[in-house]
Structure 1
Amino acid sequence: MNHFSLEGEHVKIDYSNPALPPAARNFMPDVYRDGPEYFCVLGAGSDAVILGTGNSAEEAINAWEEAYHLKAGR
């Protein structure tokens, strides 16, 4: 399991960008950079959290979008 600190660098994302995936634009998850890795997260607790990781903010957002759809059952 990946561990990261919310004290890492918060990355500002322009969620009005139509190139972003639709669920990410709708829910606007937070994106953080911790060392070389980016984390896109929404929710708290082990059951409610949706997490995506990647080597860039875009990769993390796309991974988050996939995790969202898996959790939503779509």
Structure 2
Amino acid sequence: MKQMKIAEQLKVSINYEGKELSKAVKELQPVVFQDGNEFCCLLGPDMKAGIFGCGISPQEALKDWERNLEKRIGAVTEGDEVALYAIDVLKASNKKVW
């Protein structure tokens, strides 16, 4: 799966081992970045095809991303490369995510 390239100076450093993060975030490690006054979270090649979330803080962006991940996985279609990738990674982790 292709990941969108984001300028390093826009990326927000996330400790993906942090106890406060969900298993889905820890396993998939979506990129978090600042876009103006908002924070965004993305897994995938762009905001349209990828799984995307935003919020007023990195934590809010991650929560929105998780809601969108759950919706996307729940309605996955055959050609949805990003959702299929997420499902495969989460299944391979052997950890219950939902």
**TM-score, length basis structure 2:** 0.63
Specify every segment of 5 or more residues in structure 2 that has no aligned partner in the other structure, as ranges.
1-5, 75-97
Structure 1 moving runs of 4+ over 3 Å? none
1:16 maps to amino acid = E
> Is the Cα contact below 8 Å between 1:15 and 1:25 reproduced in 2?
yes
* Residue 22 of structure 2 corresponds to residue 21 of structure 1: yes
**TM-score, length basis structure 1:** 0.82
> Is the Cα contact below 8 Å between 1:51 and 1:64 reproduced in 2?
yes
More helix by share: 2
> Is the Cα contact below 8 Å between 1:31 and 1:41 reproduced in 2?
yes
Identity, in percent, stands at 32
In structure 1, what is the equivalent of residue 79 of structure 2? none
Deviation, structure 1 residue 20: 0.8
> Is the Cα contact below 8 Å between 1:21 and 1:62 reproduced in 2?
no
Distance 1:39 1:25 in 2: 17
Q: CA RMSD of the aligned region, Å?
A: 1.9
Q: Which of the pair has more CA radius of gyration?
A: 2
Specify every segment of 5 or more residues in structure 1 that has no aligned partner in the other structure, as ranges.
1-5
Aligned residue pairs: how many? Answer: 69
Deviations 1:6-27 (A, max 9, x none): 3361101000012112211110
